[in-house]
Chains A and B, each alone.
Chain A
Amino acid sequence: MSDAMYREDRPTSMTFAEKVFARASGVSSVKAGEGVYPEPELVIIHDAYLGAAFRELSDIGYERITRPDRVVAVTDHEVLAASPQSAVRARANAALARKWRLGSFYDAGQGGHGHVFPMEDRLVTPGMFVSAYDMHCSNFGAIGAYAMAASQDVTVILATGSKLTTVPETVVVHLDGTMQHGVHSRDVGFRLAHDLLAGVHGVSVEACVMEFQGDAANDMPISARIGLINTLTEIDVANILFPPRHFDGAAAADMADLPTGVGASLRGRIALDLGSFGPTVALPGAPHNAAEIGEAAGQAIDHAFIGACGSSNFDDFRAAAEVMNGRNVAAGVRFFVVPGTVKIARRMMSEGLSQVFLDAGAIILPPGCGPCAGGLMAPLAAGEVSISTAATNNKGRMGSSEAECFLASPLSVAAAAVAGRIIDPREVMA
């Protein structure tokens, strides 16, 4: 259904996003602001929306979808059915995947988090154009794949194979320097999200692609890239991209020409020194409510968790275990550890990390979203306080709307779990 026409005023050099949209739309070039019909190579839908999506299509009269082979259904929101109703829903999802002949269905205990395992299993690879229901599919930008969050419009993609989309503008963010000891990419992300919305950088990223460039971006490990992307996703950006690289860190040489080069038309440029950031928390309400960790220090906590789409990689847990350094979880705190994928959980087992967490008194949950999926698992009671690496912390996010959710880095969450209160992780680290 693409109908973009050739135009002579096209730029000679496209942005990363424009190159991806052009290829996905079957045209030689596009530019920001144009309406196109890109066709995702993969469409990912999680267990909490699968039923609603196909019910919407059935109710209208659909009995089939355009490219079922491209659809991946994942089970990460309600991995442990916590009620008989959710067990019924889980079975309905499996039946639905068969009826609609979906390309693959990852049931409970298979794959893991739908924003993580597709990279690990190379279902999503650098340079791909994919789409998903959930906005945190932005994670795939960590390997240089463009994942369009379709939200409820995913039904239009299922039915027609595409949807009318405006090619977004790009803001290039050049990263330099090295993060200080005890600082994590999530700390950078909270601060940057805050500063972007506050106008500190003089450029709006709303509905734009943020493209990280520079040696510090290129060299940043995938887990850190994911943490940075995850903390920036909720400020209404179109997407966040890093230079292409495989999930295991291997180079993606065939995609080396994808990043935006000189000559491309941009919304703006920002330059950041990673060395200028300190440990940060997001105060309850939103990930962009950034504050220096000292401002929240001393706040007693009841609940802590490391995991969810943004910080559930092996590196995140190893870093957290180093901070804990043999100390036990503080009395009165329940501390949940939620590996991103089944493979990560296995590696944590084989390399002894699971033992470390269990010895410290932590609770290991199955791979998936953990408490971040609306508190379907391990929720908060009224009056309780949580600190976590969740994707967001709006009121009521993890259970009671009378609970408070702080967000932080895996280092700061681990430090809080052993201290029983929010604390600068550098005070705990050797």
Chain B
Amino acid sequence: MTAAIRWRTSGVAHVFGDDIAHDNGMMAWKHVIERQTDPDILVPCLFQGIDPDFAKRVKPGDFIVAGKRFGAGKPHTTAYVAMAALGLRVLCESSFDKVMRGAANLGVPIMANCLGISSEIRDGETICVDMATGEVARPDRAPLRYPPLQPVFQQTIELGGRAGILKAWLATHPEMASAYD
């Protein structure tokens, strides 16, 4: 049940700084605490706490470029539902294990350990990123090389995230689809 994922893609880079928090940064607390999962409601709110016009500018397949501690605070995942709907990918200087796991479970790759990337990439330029090799190509300048997306997260996304893992288990354990005896 492994899906082929294109790890080399191009998109516009949206550059943010350090300490981008999930709650009230990437997503309004109201949607987090209400556990909103409807992308139609969440997409217009993405990054609203940091950049109120973000949702108007962002296009499917774009990249979020951030500094240190991306996803700081509680490792909630509401924002990644919206990011997955848009097919966004993240490049950052550092993040957190729980954050990267939560995002991968929803199909959003976070490539961390990209040292200095928020100053190497200009806001609004189009970049080409190969998350399987870690190469980041940018207009008019030499490409950058970073550690690739961690294999465990590549694998999780290829399995379809948590939903894919659950569907695969159900397919091999059909008894789980009938009520208790």
Write the residues of chain A forming the contact surface with B, with a CB cutoff of 8 angstroms: 35, 49, 52, 56-57, 60-66, 101, 135, 149, 151-153, 155-156, 159-160, 166, 206-207, 234, 236, 238, 286, 374, 392, 394-396, 401
Contacts and interface: CB of A to CB of B under 8 A. Distances in A.
A64 B180 CA distance: 6
Nearest to B155: A164
Nearest to A66: B176
A60 B167 contact: yes
B77 interface: yes
A191 B94 CA distance: 22
B96 A62 contact: no
B97 A206 contact: yes
B176 A62 contact: yes
A395 B23 contact: yes
Interface stretch (B6-14, B56-64, B113-121, B158-166): B158-166
Given A63-B179, A64-B176, A156 B23 contact: no
A198 B21 CA distance: 18
A184 B75 CA distance: 27
Interface string B149-181: 000100000000011011101100001111110
Contact of B73 (A63, A206, A286): A286
Interface residues of B, number: 31
B174 to A, nearest CB: 9
Nearest to B37: A52
12 contacts: A52-B35, A61-B177, A62-B177, A64-B176, A64-B179, A149-B98, A151-B75, A151-B77, A155-B166, A159-B176, A234-B74, A395-B24
A236 B163 contact: no
Given A60-B166, A61-B177, A159-B166, A153 B96 contact: no
A156 B176 CA distance: 13
A156 B97 contact: no
A396 B97 contact: no
B77 A152 contact: yes
A236 B178 contact: no
Contact of A156 (B77, B98, B165, B179): B165
Nearest to B170: A61
A101 B181 CA distance: 11
Interface in B51-92: 72-75, 77
A401 B74 CA distance: 15
A63 B96 CA distance: 34
Contacts of B102: 151-152
Given A159-B176, A396-B24, A60 B163 contact: yes
A63 B162 contact: no
Contact of A236 (B97, B170, B176): B97
B24 A101 contact: no
Contacts of B101: 151, 153
A90 to B, nearest CB: 16
Given A135-B98, A159-B169, A234-B73, 6 more contacts: A52-B35, A62-B170, A62-B176, A236-B96, A395-B21, A395-B24
A159 B167 CA distance: 10
A153 B97 contact: no
Contacts of B105: 152-153
Contacts of B178: 63-64
A155 B166 CA distance: 8
A236 B98 contact: yes
B149 to A, nearest CB: 16
A152 B179 contact: no
Contacts of A160: 169
Nearest to B23: A394
A386 B118 CA distance: 35
A386 B29 CA distance: 18
Contacts of B167: 60
B72 to A, nearest CB: 7
B33 interface: yes
A51 to B, nearest CB: 8
Nearest to A63: B179
B75 A135 contact: yes
B24 A156 contact: no
A401 B29 contact: yes
Most chain-B Cβ atoms within 10 A of its Cβ — which of A60, A65, A101? A60
A63 B166 contact: no
A156 B160 CA distance: 13
B72 A156 contact: no
Given A61-B177, A101-B180, A153-B105, A396 B152 contact: no
A340 B77 CA distance: 28
A253 B77 CA distance: 41
Contacts of B97: 206-207, 236, 238
A63 B24 contact: no
B135 to A, nearest CB: 26
Contacts of B35: 49, 52
A57 B173 CA distance: 14
Nearest to B180: A64
Contact of B96 (A61, A65, A206): A206
Contacts of B98: 135, 149, 151, 236
Contacts of A49: 35
Contacts of B179: 63-64
A205 to B, nearest CB: 11
